[in-house]
Structure 1
Amino acid sequence: MLEDRMKRLFPLFIMSLALSLPALAQTPCAPEKGASPEKCRIATGDAATVTPSQKITSFQAQVKSDIRKGLTDAQKQAFLNKMHDYFDFSTMAEAALFGEWEKLTIEQRAQFSLAFTAMLQRSYLKKLYSHAEYQASITGEKLKEDKAQVATRLVKSAKGATSVDVTYRMQKTKQGWRIYDVLTDEVSLIRNYRSTFADLIKSKGFSGLMDHLKKQASGPLP
């Protein structure tokens, strides 16, 4: 039941992130030969000046620029790679396992993080193609030191449709603001994953959880 609810909530999170506000102009950054990705990000003002709300909006610009039907596998993979500029997948992976994380070996943690990231990215990409019937707007931002929450409201275009509130939890890293959790009508995406993964580990062990994630992330890109 929890996994079914998670599957229903995840598309709403996808739609909101893709559509919240008109896109900010985003200056392309091509670092000089030998320059690090961090240097490129700093050059665009990411770590120093971009607010959490602007970061969400910046990602929408990336989505509108890159996502369309008929993409090649190389184009899809390029977009998935860019998601690391907006999501803190390492933090999300650790939080999704919570108490189980400490029980894993370093190798198991690395295996899980890779599989979890691949699953989440594929789920995201699959839902982006069907966002046209949704409209969203940023409704507020709460900022406290290196943590932030960006509130958005998602509305389906159909007449009489109800609204859904989606909140992004973010933290400031050396590379700028990154998303580490999403709340849909106050229900946490990471907490839902945590419940599902805990049940899988309890019934099938860590290997069963890995089999589940690999199955979700297998096959051609959507």
Structure 2
Amino acid sequence: MFFITGLFILAMGNAYAQHTVNPRAEPNAFIEAVGNNALEAVRRDPAAKQGDTRRINELVDQYLLPYVNFEKTTRLAAGQGWRTATEQQRHELVEAFKGTLIRTYAGALADVDKIAALNLLPFRGDSKAKDVVVRSYFSQRNGPQVNVDYRMESTPEGWKIYDLNVEGIWLIQNYRNQFAQQIRQNGVDGLIAALNQKNR
């Protein structure tokens, strides 16, 4: 369970309340607002809860994409391969990786009702820094808590999430080794083709 799962778990926290998301708010307040606004849409959408990839894509685009830097996530996961890729390859790789994450973790949405609450831990560090980590855990109705940390960067548009730590495993590091091996064997086009093959 990694990026998309963690982002949707973010959207399953507290009781729904409509808030204007302020990307320049304090880091914890930003995460809480994104979660609260996405909650009702996720819980009320039968198609998403059944793992409908098309519907999940729509929800990601509407509630999460404005606050996530998928390009940076992909760039850091691809490493050297990103630096040697063309602009077209980079675009295709971002889209393929996003599709892979959504497809891989779509089934997690079936468990949204098991999440009891999103609990934000006290923020550590300088909230005015350019790169911060927001720590949280999710209590479940009949299960252990799940620890999720969000790494964010400050951009001209405000905070953007670009990495996720679920139970001690960072998303980017987890995929970096897989991507490096694929790129060594088949190049960037080979990695894109492999991701798209799995997305069909």
State the TM-score bracket (shorter-chain normalisation): 0.7 to 0.9
1:111 aligned partner: 92
Question: Which of these residues, 120, 139, 145, is aligned with residue 138 of structure 1?
Answer: 120
1:192 aligned partner: 174
The answer to whether the 8 Å contact 1:147/1:170 transfers is yes
Give the match's secondary structure for 1:129.
helix
TM-score (norm 2): 0.79
1:151 aligns with 2:131: no
Q: Aligned residues: percent identity?
A: 23
Cα distance, 1:12–1:115 mapped onto 2, change above 3 Å: closer
Q: Deviations over 1:38-79 (max 9, x none)?
A: xxxxxx6x244x222222222222332322213688754432
1:65 aligned partner: 40
TM-score (norm 1): 0.72
Question: What are structure 2's unaligned runs of at least 5 residues?
Answer: none
Separation (CA, whole Å) in 1 of partners of 2:183 and 2:54 = 34
Cα distance, 1:207–1:69 mapped onto 2, change above 3 Å: same
Cα distance, 1:70–1:167 mapped onto 2, change above 3 Å: closer
Q: Aligned pairs, how many?
A: 191
The answer to whether the 8 Å contact 1:23/1:61 transfers is yes
Cα distance, 1:11–1:207 mapped onto 2, change above 3 Å: closer
2:68 aligned partner: 87
Question: Which of these residues, 177, 181, 192, is aligned with residue 210 of structure 1?
Answer: 192
Q: Deviations over 1:4-37 (max 9, x none)?
A: xxxx45576256423343444324xxxxxxxxxx
The answer to whether the 8 Å contact 2:68/2:161 transfers is yes
Separation (CA, whole Å) in 1 of partners of 2:169 and 2:148 = 9
Letter in 2 for 1:81: D
Question: What are structure 1's unaligned runs of at least 5 residues?
Answer: 1-7, 28-43
Separation (CA, whole Å) in 2 of partners of 1:144 and 1:157 = 35
The answer to whether the 8 Å contact 2:16/2:40 transfers is no
1:31 aligned partner: none
